[in-house]
Chain A
């Protein structure tokens, strides 16, 4: 039941965050005031239907222009976007990855395609942190052109969400853009197809190996207001939570792991023994129900 609820919320979020359905007629992107708000998930703001800004694109823009801004005495460091993401992270940790992110929904649906499935080695879970530090902060600040402007490294060379949600639709809507297509576009399309194929074989490969936004939220999983609680006295180590987890976490070994996307499948679907519950700011679900004893958190 909870999975259906999550799917409905994911679908509604994707539709609302991409709520500019006039684009087939206007043939361009939404240009209203809502684009001053950053999307909690990964959703390219050049998607014709997008009504919010991409947080990763916004941070990169700040970093890419930080030298020029300082020379012009404009102190823009991306605090607005970082603060906004930090508030969300402080409230619910990585929950937007599991419940709101449109690109996460696409990967979840691709993984539903029947066939042989593979696990992603643990070593790849360091990838998002490397991409976060390098492509979002260091390279846009460090590598600049003759005028002092940096590049949007993640958007330009990697982001498959931008290719899928913005690149392909805009090339269909605006024929003039097709004349500008070069090698870079084909490389990005290849990256997109690589992740689409990988998503059929493994659960959420982009989130687990690349996504810098998930990496940012992951810092908050252990300190967020909303957390999961582990009740060791009820756990039988049956590993059903591990089997069902979309990011391959053994909950009993690492509750509130930084990789956890808070989909709550383990709590609502997998665990039949009540070994997992949630708490909000110290008040637990079980406490509310009058049966909370012996819970541990890491």
Chain B
């Protein structure tokens, strides 16, 4: 069994948790629910 993938996954899981705890999920939601004028080319 290789350990590398599990170390990578755990490291990024930790990163994801840090982001979640610091309120980044709400920030992503706020941005995603409004129409992004940049994305559609008229921003």
Contacts and interface: CB of A to CB of B under 8 A. Distances in A.
A166 B24 contact: no
B32 A84 contact: no
Interface in A82-113: 82-87, 89-91
Contacts of B38: 151-152, 155-156
Contacts of B39: 44-46, 54, 57, 152, 155-156, 159, 162, 166-167
A242 interface: no
B27 to A, nearest CB: 6
Contacts of A90: 5, 8-9, 12
Contacts of A220: 8
Interface stretch (A11-19, A29-37, A121-129): A29-37
A58 interface: yes
Contacts of A45: 31-32, 36, 39
Interface in B1-39: 1-2, 4-6, 8-9, 11-20, 22-29, 31-33, 35-39
A190 to B, nearest CB: 10
A206 interface: no
Interface string A159-174: 1001100110011000
B6 to A, nearest CB: 7
Interface of B is mostly: helix
A87 B12 contact: yes
Interface residues of A, number: 63
A37 B15 CA distance: 15
B42 to A, nearest CB: 4
A75 to B, nearest CB: 6
Contacts of A31: 33
A147 B38 CA distance: 18
A225 to B, nearest CB: 4
Interface of B: 1-2, 4-6, 8-9, 11-20, 22-29, 31-33, 35-43
Interface of A: 28-33, 35-36, 38, 44-46, 52-54, 57-58, 61-62, 74-87, 89-91, 151-152, 155-156, 159, 162-163, 166-167, 170-171, 177, 180-182, 184-185, 187-189, 220, 223-225, 281-283
16 contacts: A35-B28, A44-B36, A61-B28, A61-B31, A75-B22, A76-B22, A80-B24, A81-B24, A81-B28, A82-B16, A83-B15, A87-B12, A87-B16, A155-B38, A163-B40, A171-B40
Given A36-B29, A90-B8, 10 more contacts: A32-B33, A33-B29, A44-B36, A52-B32, A58-B32, A61-B28, A75-B22, A80-B24, A156-B41, A171-B40
